[in-house]
Chains A and B, each alone.
Chain A
Amino acid sequence: MRIRNHQDFWAGLMFAAIGILFAGFAQQYDFGAAARMGPGYFPTMLGILLMLLGLLVSWRSTAKSQAEHRLEPTGWREILLVLGAVIVFGLTLPWLGMVAAIALLILISAVAAHDYTWKETIISIIVLLAVAYLVFVKGLELQFPVWPKFLTAA
């Protein structure tokens, strides 16, 4: 037995693991009976179904009829920068306010592009801050702190 379709092999394992996890956690809840289903009934059934589907996908990935599919390399740089920017936005927004959080979000995420330049990034920040202020604060009147807490608290 040899794995031909690596994508399917790992996808199948992922589904099976998720199915087992859900079915496992569902055991904390009352299972009930078919006529009177408890909160654990449907999730347990779905979890088992997902596990079976996952195993089927993995098993088929070794079939002779499958075309060869390798995994592409993971773009750690892009993932870390883009998601890191989002996390920083979430962390800073309540304390530093919208202006600082947006500036940081764009500053960090822009580096993820292979062809970014500092000049463009700075211009982006200024333009997007203006748009954000007009659209979110003035136009839609969304509720969030605009400026840092320590500046406005006084």
Chain B
Amino acid sequence: MEIFDHLALGFATALSLDNLFYCFIGVLFGTLIGVLPGIGPLATIAMLLPITYKMTDPTTALIMLAGIYYGAQYGGSTTAILVNLPGETSSVVTVLDGYQMARKGRAGPALAIAAIGSFFAGTVSTIMIAAFAPPMAEIAFKFGPAEYFSLMVMGLIAAVVLAHGSVIKALAMVVFGLLLGMVGTDVNSGVARFSFDIPELTDGLSFTAVAMGIFGFGEIITNLERREKREVFTSKVGRLLPSWEEMKRSMAPIVRGTALGSFLGVLPGGGAVLASFTSYAIEKKISKTPEKFGTGMIEGVAGPEAANNAGAQASFIPMLTLGIPTNAVMALMVAGMMIHNIQPGPQVMTTNPTLFWGLIASMWIGNAMLVILNLPLIGIWIKLLTVPYRILYPAILLFCCVGVYSVNNNVFDVFMTIPFAILGYVFRKLACEPAPLLLGLVLGQLMEEYLRRAMTISRGDWSVFVTRPLSLTLLIIAAVLLVIVFMPSISKKRAQAFAEED
């Protein structure tokens, strides 16, 4: 079987000393920021992205960055269960039953089930990626410029529809992001666009500066305003091992959550958050005692925690095979690949097989490390939760500033974060979800390039997008998604589904 050869190559790569070390650093940081409310994987990856510059092997860099993302899903559940606060957005639903379990003295089993569920989901979705990525890349090779353009349109629209908040505003944020992507030298004509004679801008906006400004600094300012009060669950975590009965009750939700997460994660805009919400809703619906949900049902912890980890990992599939990021974290991963001159897309699998399979194998290794990090070492994370935000944010700020500076060893990028921090703050005040902007920023130039090529081939005939069957299919999917989301009955349901989040 070919898949075993691939995985063997992957494990050989991932088990090298360097890669193991950075995988560990990644999951450690991921757990750390997952546990701490107020700093997400997005800001952390943006923070560490410049450091990957110094790494000679891009595989190592991606292994570390990936570890941060799925590691954060583990850490987020700890905070959800012990503090009644989601450490990550994807742990929002874990708060509902996890905290109630902690109040009943079952914090240990809740944490254990969350870790076991996540590990199971991580294992299954690693195999999923290994199995489904090659055929997906196969399809992608049939894509011409018109198909790629339509795929991006579909991807961006789906990302907007599945994300929460107002659809039109999210669309506007995508377009704004695409426009920001235009800043810099135009590849075809060599004209420097929107650079206003500032030499640093001719290379385009720095992803790290934009992401750090909007997500890092913008977040810190809003958190400071809120004057959040945190109360750590002080009683003992108790025995970690769940009872046999709890194990039996969690089994089916973990399997369902894994399946759901693997599926939803592949969809644009999907990923961890959507998966955990849907899983909770399903578990509640099929339970014989739905009224008990919210009072400490272990099913309400097991399902969503499995789902968010599966979703986080499955969202690597479209990024690795099509080169299309489906959420903001993946957008940064794309930026990370481009730093090392790797253009994400179907060719990565053949041109950089060690990178591709090494990354996949490292996910399983990272998941195993996470179980150890999260269960026996739980005490350390609990201690960490008692550190107040007023001590944490200057440290976060410091890492952000040094990170941005070290991209080009230039303070220009540090100053570039200021307008984007202000923008990020304004976005939050005006209830505009900033993640779609980053997707647009990453895809802007690519999208323009594919549009140009498609139109040059068709000699200016716009119908090329609807006469080629694959392209037409993708556009129809995009149109259907938009129509559905604006239908009154659906938009009401959608509002309800996301209402629990706020």
Please report A residues at the B interface, Cβ cutoff 8 Å. Answer: 7-8, 10-11, 14-15, 18-19, 22, 25-26, 29-30, 33-39, 42-43, 46-47, 49-50, 53-54, 56-57, 60, 69, 71-72, 74-75, 78-79, 82-83, 85-87, 89-91, 93-94, 102, 105-106, 109-110, 112-116, 120-121, 124, 128, 132, 136, 140-144
Contact = CB atoms under 8 A, between A and B. Distances in A.
B224 A120 contact: no
28 contacts: A8-B166, A8-B430, A18-B179, A25-B194, A29-B189, A30-B191, A35-B456, A37-B188, A37-B452, A39-B191, A42-B452, A53-B171, A57-B169, A57-B172, A74-B429, A78-B225, A79-B425, A86-B397, A90-B401, A90-B405, A91-B411, A114-B227, A120-B391, A128-B394, A128-B395, A128-B398, A136-B406, A144-B405
B162 interface: no
A116 B390 contact: yes
A96 to B, nearest CB: 12
Contacts of A50: 172, 175-176, 179
Contacts of A47: 179
Interface string B401-427: 110011001010011011001100110
Interface string B428-467: 0111100000000000000110011001101111100000
B451 A42 contact: yes
B451 A69 contact: no
Interface of B: 51, 54, 166, 168-169, 171-172, 175-176, 178-179, 182, 186, 188-189, 191, 193-194, 217, 220-221, 224-225, 227, 388-391, 393-395, 397-398, 401-402, 405-406, 409, 411, 414-415, 417-418, 421-422, 425-426, 429-432, 447-448, 451-452, 455-456, 458-462
Contacts of A71: 429-430
A141 B462 CA distance: 52
A102 B483 CA distance: 52
A91 B401 CA distance: 12
Given A7-B431, A43-B179, A110-B394, A29 B401 contact: no
Contacts of B178: 46
Which residue, A14, A42, A143, has most C-beta atoms of chain B within 10 A? A42
Contact of B189 (A7, A39, A106, A109): A39
Contact of B397 (A7, A14, A82, A142): A82
A39 B461 CA distance: 19
Contacts of B402: 132, 136, 142
A44 B65 CA distance: 35
Contacts of A36: 456, 460
B397 A109 contact: yes
Nearest to B453: A37
Given A46-B175, A82-B221, A90-B414, A14 B430 contact: yes
Contact of B193 (A29, A53, A54, A120): A29
Q: Which 7 A-B pairs have the closest CB atoms?
A: A35-B460, A113-B390, A34-B460, A90-B414, A11-B430, A39-B186, A75-B225
A37 B390 CA distance: 52
Nearest to A53: B172
Contacts of B458: 35
A57 B429 contact: no
Given A113-B389, A114-B224, 9 more contacts: A11-B430, A46-B178, A78-B221, A78-B225, A91-B411, A105-B398, A110-B390, A112-B224, A144-B405
B301 to A, nearest CB: 32
A57 B171 CA distance: 11
A85 B175 CA distance: 31
Which residue, B175, B393, B395, B417, has most C-beta atoms of chain A within 10 A? B175
Contacts of A83: 217, 221, 418, 421-422
Contact of B188 (A39, A72, A113): A39
A79 B221 contact: yes
A30 B189 contact: yes
B369 to A, nearest CB: 21
Contacts of B456: 35-37
Contact of A90 (B411, B460, B461): B411
B394 A105 contact: yes
